[in-house]
Chain A
């Protein structure tokens, strides 16, 4: 039998990615390369934050304590966030933003397509709703990968630079934590390890169409899922948690 604490940790492993990526995208609101793209990226941020709320509300409910989605979102220590390193990487330039999005979207869609079969009805429902949103995200980011890869010489170099830099964070997406394994055994979770082949094929297909090269990295970064994050994470959380930490126990 699966304990609630295991499900909660399993949920964090999915939802924290949506929160942190949503937070990164929100930083861009008002600063996009053109109004239309600004609006599109905010739509993705809103989708991700909406998903985050559904997951966290469920996690808060499972905790059996009088917790809220906001306790879950804002009041954990850095070590307790289970997001992958990929999503916390900064908005260095538009090429990084699109590559980070693309690398995550492809995984995200594969994950949700499996998660919709979860024995846990709430998770299955969240996944079903998310699939539609994430399909659009993947379309958006894939299209932009192609535009930048096969656009100008400058855009080609910039996007290839981002691909080279961010590729090292992709392998972590498929690592199974202990909670992932328990969730899988109980028919709640997804076997992410099995998604890797599909993932690599899909990425390769788009990158090649964009005349970009898939890096031949043998060494991949990891740690996010165990709560060992990059230096960027602390600053991101300082922003995210600022109000809740400065003014504890208040209603907003």
Chain B
């Protein structure tokens, strides 16, 4: 194809998206669109899978049977969501194994928040309430993103995730209404997870490299700063309601803007964790690599067995 022809196709393509038409797997798409989508969808999938680990850390120690099954179902949902997203990504012509390869070699990124440790049971509450809360804010707009398979995966994810945040907030309510020890546990978890949750919504707009292009392709509908503000505005009253204190001395209701003003985010910490220096980066990745490598003989066996069965069938037919 000549450069002019490609240019023409690109224009038609951008117009389709502007008209809110969906792009489907076999449609022509600019290489950059394909690559950007592989990057974002796989990052999202990796985050779900790595995200199973910090919460998985407490499944065996959950304090009641009711909490145990709820947490187990929640972490399992994350596996499901990772799977839906890998499936969506595979429609772009890349295999799940290749995506794993990128994750395992550190080439692909995932949400940095999962590099923080889960130290108490209250962290299960804080993660559900804050981390899932922030994730939902990010994800709901993606249900109408331009790439069909991604949008459909996100609709399923959002539908299933509706219980996750409630599950977390309910844990926090129980702790906040409990003994002084429990309340302290809840406050401590909020203290540790608040700032990472704000960072989770991405670098400030000034620093964000992808925003303009992503907006055009509906991979983003709002900027990081807008999402962050939305998250803070909805979360602060929820903390007030259960008597917990947001660990930000500069947090203040602004009568004029009708929003909360908040303190400076430690972006240095954010970039350090992104670069691999968070408390659990190595541990998280090696847990995934181990599971994959230790599973190889199992996957191979299933393939060998399937082939033998197929051969048997063929022999019978002859």
Interchain CB contact under 8 A, B68 and A26: yes
Q: Which residue of A lies closest to B296 (CB)?
A: A33
Interface residue? B215 (CB, 8 A):
no
A46 in complex: contacting residue of B69, B182, B297, B298, CB < 8 Å: B69
Q: Does A73 contact B (CB under 8 A)?
A: yes
Q: Which of A34, A52, A150, A247 has the largest count of B CB atoms less than 10 A from its CB?
A: A34
Please indicate the chain B residues that have their CB under 8 angstroms from the CB of A30 in the complex: 49, 52-53, 56, 75, 79, 287, 291
Q: Is B80 at the interface (CB under 8 A from chain A)?
A: yes
Comparing B15-23, B58-66, B140-148, the segment that makes contact with chain A is: B58-66
B43-57, CB under 8 A of A: which get 1 and which 0?
000000100110010
Known A-B contacts A148-B301, A155-B298; A26 and B65 likewise in contact (beta carbons under 8 Å) = no
A59 to B52, CA, bound (A): 33
Cα–Cα distance between A27 and B75 once the two chains are bound (Å): 12
Q: Which residue from B61, B76, B179, B302 sits with its C-beta under 8 Å from A250? A: B179
**CA of A243 to CA of B290 in the docked complex: distance in angstroms?**
28
Size of the chain A interface, CB-CB below 8 angstroms? 47
A252 to B79, CA, bound (A): 25
User: Chain A residues with Cβ under 8 A from B40's Cβ?
Assistant: none
Chain A residues with CB under 8 A of B304: 151-152, 155
A31 touches B291 (CB 8 A): yes
- Distance in angstroms between the alpha carbons of A35 and B76 in the assembled complex: 10
Any A CB within 8 A of the CB of B178:
yes
A53 to B305 alpha-carbon distance, docked (Å): 37
Query: Do A244 and B72 touch across chains, with their CB atoms under 8 A apart?
Result: no
Beyond A46-B69, A46-B72, A250-B182, is A155–B61 a contact (Cβ under 8 Å)?
Answer: no
Residues from chain A with a CB closer than 8 A to the CB of B287 are: 30-31
User: Is the CB–CB distance between B308 and A150 below 8 Å?
Assistant: yes
Asked if B300 CB lies within 8 Å of chain A CBs, one says: yes
A192 close to B (CB within 8 Å): no
**Is A103 close to B, CB under 8 A?**
no
A-B contact count (CB 8 A): 142
Interface of A is mostly: helix
Among A5-13, A37-45, A181-189, A218-226, the one that faces the other chain is A37-45
Q: Does residue A147 face the partner (Cβ distance < 8 Å to B)? A: yes
- Chain B's interface size range is 35 or more
Is B295 within 8 A of A94, CB to CB?
Answer: yes
Assuming A29-B59, A151-B305, is B121 touching A252 (CB within 8 A)? Answer: yes
Would A53 and B72 count as touching, CB distance under 8 A?
Answer: no
- Chain B residue nearest to A69 in the complex (CB): B65
Shortest Cβ distance from A45 into chain B, in angstroms? 6
Q: Contacts A31-B291, A42-B79, A147-B305: A26 and B174 contacting too (C-beta < 8 A)?
A: no
* Nearest A-chain residue to B55, judged by Cβ: A30
Q: Mark A147-174, 1 if CB is under 8 A from B, else 0.
A: 1101110110010000000000000000
Q: Using Cβ atoms and an 8 Å threshold, which residues of chain A touch B49? A: 30, 35
| B76 engages A251 (CB within 8 Å) | no
Inter-chain CA distance A252–B124, complex, in Å, is 12
* Residues of chain B at the chain A interface (Cβ within 8 Å): 49, 52-53, 56, 59-69, 72-73, 75-76, 79-80, 82-83, 86, 121, 171, 174-175, 178-179, 181-182, 287, 290-292, 294-305, 308
Identify 7 residue pairs between A and B in the complex whose beta-carbon atoms are under 8 Å apart, listed by A's number: A29-B79, A30-B287, A151-B303, A151-B304, A151-B305, A154-B297, A239-B60
Residues in A lying within 8 Å of B, measured CB to CB: 23, 26-27, 29-39, 42-43, 45-46, 49-50, 52-53, 56, 69-70, 73-74, 93-94, 146-148, 150-152, 154-155, 158, 239-240, 242-244, 247, 250-252
Closest 4 CB pairs of A and B: A33-B295, A151-B301, A155-B301, A243-B63
Instruction: Give 4 A-B pairs besides A35-B82, A94-B298 with Cβ atoms closer than 8 angstroms.
Output: A31-B291, A146-B305, A151-B305, A252-B174
